[in-house]
């Protein structure tokens, strides 16, 4: 689609400085009409599909994705057969198996999947989740020795290991087999594991690089089940019952919700809503989730509580919770994670305020650096990723937040914009010897710094990513899916729109514009500086609305001080389940003043 898209409602510069454009050009509009006619779906739903490049003949599968139709043969992943055979042998021989996972939700989900799978065969593996502060990301020699000394003959790394040459070589030298299940970017020098399954390794041609580690782990379990079946093993586990954990990892790792990932999340949510996993059910209760579980609940309520254990508490709590079957124990761990999450929120608010002030001063009234790289001795290493995410969101550019230690070293995390590959830039910095350790993927990365490396690393990122950042920001026009009125934004409409979900990375939430509406009763709510208000149309219809973290921003200023005249409001819609009643809620993204 090379045709220039028209400005929506003639908005060339919104309150946040963006143009609004129709997500569909002329060819896209024609495609939407054809999809609506052939599939018998609503015009709005057809527009949403066309705006996500769904072809005419693929609309049916897109609306009802199935794992059977979308999952390829696991053997298409490089090294899969060797890895699956080794796990199958370990199960058959009841070997002592150890798991080494990452401390985030994807790592916890991957480990929990493997724990539950092995438990079906009566094997209780050792599980080691590294301490984020004292051990850092990925396998280390001391931890490998501990697992081996405790009797492990097979170590499986999950959501890590692709760049861990020395620890894996050390374990192999001690006579232990090591398998790597990962999805992070890698250079060509892979560690000496017995088998390494990673769709992002350079020689993998599976096309599954969009999977998170939990998704890759699920494919491994499918391959292991097949290997066991071929060897005559019966009574194999029902892997479909584990899809709730796969969905959690997929949503929380912010991988693209396309292809197989959409099927994982849709089917996984069906499993989660049954409440079969005591840990997830306990966390939903602790998070005060109302209504059926949806992607928002996984990504913003349940996931952060699991992450809180790895950020400021016991990193192993998330895996323990997702892997256990005891409801009472699940409630105890969920309550502890909820407490840690409250403490994490308090620490985060203070750090983000400091970081935002420093970034605003650095940018000043000009363009500022293409990548924000900020550091502080007062930041907790467990929340630097959250700080980076807030900076990226507020200043619309990639950002790194680095916690400085007393010895001058630093531990940092970065978040990026679509179209700016942060992980590759970090790997390049490591390869050049600029920093000692780092890795990640396109949208997120982690690093370690030695004393004196902050300035050179900042300059390196500006040089490596400057042009890409400029292009990404230039292409940041807000794409609009359709215009609605407050009266037309009904629960039935939302249920229809949700057929194109789940929405998230790679499958953006539809953006609707409410032309010439007014903001009523705006007020600041919550600790995060949110602004709640009522969106009102001229005919008296009203919608409950909120602008997250808007206080002190141009959007917040308009809502709180200058919203008397009719304005155009752009944002997303969701269904709020309050006291058992469904109600449409509007989440504000942008505001524009009608052209005079």
Give pLDDT, residue 412.
95
* Interval 562-571: pLDDT, tens: 777 899 999 9
**Can you give the length of the chain in residues?**
596
Give pLDDT, residue 1.
38
pLDDT exceeds 50 at position 2:
no
pLDDT exceeds 70 at position 326:
yes
State the pLDDT confidence band at 184, using cuts at 50, 70 and 90.
very high
Give pLDDT, residue 188.
67
State the pLDDT confidence band at 372, using cuts at 50, 70 and 90.
very high
Question: Cα-flanking dihedrals φ and ψ of residue 395, to 5°?
Answer: -110, 5
Nearest to 42 by CA among 490, 509, 542: 490
* Interval 381-405: pLDDT, tens: 999 999 999 999 989 999 999 999 9
* Interval 101-111: pLDDT, tens: 999 999 999 99
Question: What is the sign of the dihedral through the CA atoms of 290, 293, 295 and 297?
Answer: positive
Question: What distance in Å separates the CA atoms of residue 587 and residue 229, rounded to the nearest whole number?
Answer: 49
Q: How far is CA 118 from CA 86, 112, 399, 479, in A?
A: 13, 10, 40, 46
* Interval 512-523: pLDDT, tens: 999 999 999 999
Tell me the β-bridge partners of 532: 523, 546
* Interval 114-164: pLDDT, tens: 999 999 999 999 999 998 888 888 899 999 999 999 999 999 999 999 989
pTM of the model: 0.90
Nearest to 280 by CA among 318, 224, 237: 318
Give pLDDT, residue 333.
97
* Interval 548-559: pLDDT, tens: 999 989 999 999
- Judge contact between 181 and 219, C-beta under 8 A: no
Domains and CATH numbers, the chain: 8-23+481-592 (2.40.50.460), 69-339 (3.90.1640.30), 360-474 (3.10.310.30)
Q: In sequence order, what are the residues at sequence separation of 6 or more whose Cβ sits closer than 8 angstroms to the Cβ of residue 391?
A: 352, 355, 356, 359, 372, 374, 399, 401, 415
* Interval 465-504: pLDDT, tens: 999 999 988 778 899 999 999 999 999 999 999 999 999 8
* Interval 286-318: pLDDT, tens: 999 988 999 999 999 999 999 999 888 899 999
pLDDT exceeds 70 at position 462:
yes
The alpha-helical segments, DSSP class H, found in 40-156 are: 43-50, 59-63, 67-70, 80-92, 105-120, 141-149
Tell me the β-bridge partners of 504: 507
State the pLDDT confidence band at 219, using cuts at 50, 70 and 90.
very high
Question: What is the sign of the dihedral through the CA atoms of 486, 492, 495 and 500?
Answer: negative
Q: Could you give the percent of the chain with pLDDT greater than 70?
A: 99
């Amino acid at each position: 689609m090379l045709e220039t898209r028209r400005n929506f409602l003639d908005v060339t510069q919104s309150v946040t400085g963006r143009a609004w454009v129709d997500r569909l050009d002329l060819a896209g509009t024609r495609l939407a009409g054809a999809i609506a006619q052939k599939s018998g779906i609503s015009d709005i739903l057809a527009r949403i599909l066309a705006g996500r490049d769904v072809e005419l003949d693929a609309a049916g599968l897109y609306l009802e994705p199935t794992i059977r139709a979308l999952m390829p043969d696991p053997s298409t992943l490089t090294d899969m057969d060797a890895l699956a055979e080794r796990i199958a042998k370990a199960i058959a021989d009841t070997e002592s198996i150890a798991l080494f996972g990452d401390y985030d939700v994807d790592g916890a989900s991957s480990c929990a999947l493997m724990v539950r799978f092995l438990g079906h065969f009566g094997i209780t593996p050792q599980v080691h989740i590294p301490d984020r502060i004292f051990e850092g990301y990925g396998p280390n020699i001391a931890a490998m020795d501990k697992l081996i000394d405790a009797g492990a003959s097979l170590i499986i790394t999950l959501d890590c290991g692709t760049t861990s040459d020395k620890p894996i070589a050390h374990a192999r030298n001690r006579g232990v087999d090591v398998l790597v299940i990962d999805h992070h970017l890698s250079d060509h020098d892979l560690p000496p594991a017995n088998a390494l399954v990673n769709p992002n390794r350079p020689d993998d041609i599976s096309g599954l690089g969009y999977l998170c580690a939990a998704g890759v782990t699920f494919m491994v379990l499918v391959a292991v089940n097949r290997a066991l079946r071929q060897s005559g093993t019966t009574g194999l586990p029902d892997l479909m019952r584990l899809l709730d954990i796969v969905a959690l990892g997929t949503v929380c790792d912010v991988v693209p919700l396309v292809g197989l990932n959409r099927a994982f999340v849709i089917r996984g949510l069906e499993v989660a809503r049954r409440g079969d996993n005591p840990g997830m059910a306990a966390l939903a209760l602790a998070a005060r989730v109302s209504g059926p579980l949806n992607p928002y609940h996984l990504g913003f309520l349940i996931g952060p509580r699991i992450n809180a254990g790895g950020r400021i508490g016991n990193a192993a709590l998330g895996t323990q919770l997702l892997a256990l079957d005891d409801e009472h124990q699940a409630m105890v761990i969920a309550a502890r994670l909820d407490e840690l999450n409250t403490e994490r929120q308090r620490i985060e608010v203070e750090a983000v305020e400091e970081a935002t002030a420093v970034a605003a001063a650095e940018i000043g009234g000009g363009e500022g650096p293409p990548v924000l790289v900020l550091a502080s001795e007062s930041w907790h290493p467990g929340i630097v990723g959250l700080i980076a995410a807030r900076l990226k969101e507020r200043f619309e550019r990639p950002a790194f937040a680095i916690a400085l230690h007393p010895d001058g070293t630093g531990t940092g995390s970065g978040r990026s914009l679509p179209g700016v590959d942060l992980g590759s830039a970090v790997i390049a910095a490591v390869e050049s010897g600029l920093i000692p350790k780092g890795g990640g993927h396109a949208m997120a990365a982690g690093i370690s710094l030695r004393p004196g490396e902050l300035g050179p690393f900042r300059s390196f990122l500006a040089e490596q990513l400057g042009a890409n950042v400029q292009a990404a920001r230039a292409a940041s026009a807000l794409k609009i899916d359709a215009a609605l009125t407050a009266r037309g934004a009904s629960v039935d409409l939302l249920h229809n729109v949700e057929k194109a979900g789940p929405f998230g990375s790679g499958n953006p939430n539809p953006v609707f514009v409410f032309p010439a509406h007014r903001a009523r009763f705006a007020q600041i709510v919550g600790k995060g500086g949110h602004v709640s208000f009522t969106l009102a149309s001229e005919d008296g219809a009203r919608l409950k609305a909120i602008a997250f973290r808007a206080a002190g921003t141009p959007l917040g200023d308009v809502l709180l001080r200058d919203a008397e005249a009719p304005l155009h409001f752009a944002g997303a819609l969701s269904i709020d389940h309050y006291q058992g009643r469904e109600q449409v809620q509007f989440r504000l993204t942008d505001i524009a003043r009608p052209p005079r």
